């Protein structure tokens, strides 16, 4: 009997040791990735100064507010002892903020390439979509950021709890860094598409606003990248969209309510970003989806 107990105890001891080693392996793998610094010089983008461009930048910035706050002075994205802390940075260049010493080209590096000033890869920030913004629009967006009043709002640095480090290291949170998903050559050559109701422009808006990131490439929906989000519906012709008129589609983004009476949760379906555009531009997205080949 004594021998059996001894064997069980040895077995348990070995199991605990293996689990501990696996935990240490995954957490240190995550920490190496988390702290990795990438040297990268973005191709320069021209920043306009005129009021029309700044207004265009303001419209494009509405999408950023769901995470960076209404004044773009940042907010806590998550802060939980079991997961860790991640602030959505203060973009106003205020004293003590993440962007205090940002140049215009540092903004290009972050928005287009997914790296902060120091060269760390950004997390959660949807750079796969924002990397699709054309040179002209990116210039407008940064021109608008340059007009923001400095709001002093400081946050603790991003940090992951040990359990979350292990899970992230084991790949349970999926793709952590959009930098790795971006084709950094192509992003320097994105063609400017004139604003209007064309399908081509509608395709551009769905790319920069990340509709295809959440609703998937075929727009037929599925699981959201956000684990606490409701399921992402089919917004192609085979979904409710197929029954909607152009006016009804535009109204979804103006009101956050669908023709079926569903109130969309802005935390999970950021309708205000597209809603900031003109009726004609939202109609472009309607035309794009309506004529999209499967």
Residues that bind ligand HEC (CB under 6 A): 63-64, 66-68, 77, 86, 88-89, 91, 98-99, 107, 110-111, 116-117, 122-126, 130, 141, 158, 206, 209-211, 213-215, 224, 229-230, 232-233, 235, 239-240, 252, 258, 262, 264-265, 268-270, 274, 285
- CB nearer ligand HEC, residue 203 or residue 215: 215
Q: How far is the CB of 127 from ligand HEC (least distance, A)?
A: 8
- How far, in Å, CA of 278 to CA of 197, rounded? 10
Going along 89-192, which residue ranges are E strands? 159-160
Closest alpha carbon to 287 in 257, 251, 250: 250
Q: Nearer to ligand HEC by C-beta: 170 or 225?
A: 225
Rounded Cα distance, 110 and 131, in Å: 9
Backbone angles phi, psi at 261, to 5 degrees: 95, 10
For ligand HEC, give the closer residue by CB, 27 or 210: 210
Q: Alpha-carbon distance 277 to 253, whole Å?
A: 9
Q: Closest separation between CB of residue 14 and ligand HEC, Å?
A: 38
Question: Which CA distances in Å does 236 have to 2, 212, 284, 287?
Answer: 67, 11, 14, 11
Q: Which residues contact 162 (CB under 8 A, 6 or more apart)?
A: 23, 27
* Structure tokens belonging to residue 271: 């309708």
Residue 271 CB, nearest approach to ligand HEC (Å): 7
* Residue 133 exposed, middle or buried by CB count within 10 Å (0-12, 13-18, 19+): buried
Q: Which is nearer to ligand HEC, 23 or 229 (CB)?
A: 229
Q: In the Cβ-directed half-sphere of 272, how many Cα atoms lie within 13 Å?
A: 15
Nearer to ligand HEC, 27 or 68 (CB): 68
Cβ of residue 186: shortest distance to ligand HEC, in angstroms? 18
Smallest distance from the beta carbon of 121 to ligand HEC, in angstroms? Answer: 7
**Smallest gap from residue 215 Cβ to ligand HEC (A):** 6
| Closest CB to ligand HEC among residues 182, 211 | 211
């Amino acid at each position: 009997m004594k021998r059996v107990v001894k064997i069980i105890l040895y077995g348990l001891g070995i199991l605990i040791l293996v689990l501990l080693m696996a935990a240490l392996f995954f957490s240190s793998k995550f920490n190496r990735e988390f702290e990795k610094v990438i040297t990268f010089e973005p191709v320069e983008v021209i920043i306009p100064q005129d009021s029309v461009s700044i207004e265009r930048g303001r419209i494009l910035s509405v999408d950023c507010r769901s995470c960076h706050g209404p004044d773009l002075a940042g907010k806590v994205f998550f802060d939980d002892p079991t997961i860790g802390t991640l602030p959505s940075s203060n973009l106003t260049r205020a004293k003590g903020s993440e962007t205090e010493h940002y140049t215009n080209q540092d903004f290009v590096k972050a928005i287009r390439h997914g790296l902060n000033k120091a060269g760390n890869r950004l997390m959660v920030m949807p750079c796969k979509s924002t990397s699709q913004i054309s040179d002209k629009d990116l210039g407008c967006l940064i021109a608008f950021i340059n007009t923001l009043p400095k709001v002093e709002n400081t946050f603790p640095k991003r940090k992951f709890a040990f359990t979350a480090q292990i899970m992230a290291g084991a790949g349970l949170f999926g793709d952590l860094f959009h930098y790795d998903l971006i084709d950094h050559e192509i992003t320097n050559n994105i063609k400017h598409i004139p604003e209007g109701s064309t399908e081509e422009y509608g395709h551009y808006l769905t790319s920069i606003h990340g509709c295809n990131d959440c609703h998937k490439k075929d727009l037929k929906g599925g699981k959201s990248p956000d684990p606490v989000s409701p399921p992402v519906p089919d917004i192609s012709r085979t979904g409710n969209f197929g029954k909607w008129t152009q006016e009804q589609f535009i109204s979804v983004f103006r009101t956050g309510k669908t023709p079926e009476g569903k109130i969309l949760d802005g935390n999970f379906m950021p309708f205000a970003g597209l809603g900031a555009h003109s009726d004609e531009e939202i109609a472009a997205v309607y035309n794009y989806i309506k004529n999209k080949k499967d």
